[in-house]
Amino acid sequence: MRTPAKKTLFVCTLLSAVILGTYAAGQGPGKEELKLTLPKPMFIGTPTNIKSPNLEVITGKPRGPFFVPVGTKLLSLKRPIRSSDMQPVIGELTMLTDGEKEGGDGYFVELGPGKQWVQVDLGAPYALHAILVWHYHSQARVYRDVVVQLSDDRDLLKGVTTVFNNDHDNTAGLGIGTDKEYIEVAEGRLIDPKGAKGRYVRFYSNGNTSNDLNHYIEVEVYGTPAK
Ligand SMILES: [Ca+2]
Ligand SMILES: [Ca+2]
């Protein structure tokens, strides 16, 4: 049986965990939960057959709520896309910001092999609070060298902020990243740009664990007007 002292310690530990958990999720004054429209999952269960040296620990759990400043809006819907491959093998670049995120055929754009990028123009600089990307989710895959950069410069030659980089061995030549590789799922990947500012958001990838090609179903960028 627990002694009162042990019980108090237990309750305190539990409370700390709850408080820390709340702060970790970014909840607080002036924040609201980011509301997302998610596609239906195409596969169920936790894939265990993918081996990669930089893969995150797979929990199989949903992402849970994510909190953003009140007034945060989806900025990328129907915005124009540029790419290192302006003539995709499959699909049209406009599909990246059409709001459709289903995993089946007819929803993904296929870009050529090796390192490629896509870039959304938000039309003006914004403070960014959430970036999501769906590469492909009808099959468990890891996309290589996922790097996300922001800039006010269309060609990303100056004022570049890197908000995600899981290229641990610099094979993409954009610098070594400390983020982990991940398996694509229907809820997409949420990247926290922590209020970093930019007009152009560029997404790199460098093939995947099934083939050398690069795929995109949708990208979403959420933010507030830059002050
Ligand atoms: Ca789409
Ligand atoms: Ca790499």
pTM of the entire structure? 0.88
Per-residue pLDDT tens over the stretch 150-195: 999 999 999 999 999 999 999 999 999 999 999 999 999 999 999 9
Write out the H or E segment, with its range, that includes residue 124. Answer: strand 115-134
Task: Give the number of whichever ligand sits closest to the CA of residue 172.
Answer: 2
- The DSSP secondary structure of 62-92, one letter per residue, reads -----EEETT-EE--TT--EEES-SS-SBS-
Q: Give me ligand 2 centre to Cα 141, in Å.
A: 15
Q: Give me ligand 2 centre to Cα 194, in Å.
A: 24
Q: Give me ligand 2 centre to Cα 57, in Å.
A: 18
Task: Give the number of whichever ligand sits closest to the CA of residue 181.
Answer: 2
Per-residue pLDDT tens over the stretch 72-92: 999 999 999 999 999 999 999
What is the percent of the chain where pLDDT is above 70? 89
Q: How confident is the model at residue 26 (pLDDT cuts 50, 70, 90)?
A: confident
Q: What is the mean pLDDT of the chain?
A: 91
**Locus of tokens 């959304």:** 120
Across residues 16-37, what is the average pLDDT? 73
Interatomic CA distance for residues 192 and 161, integer angstroms: 13
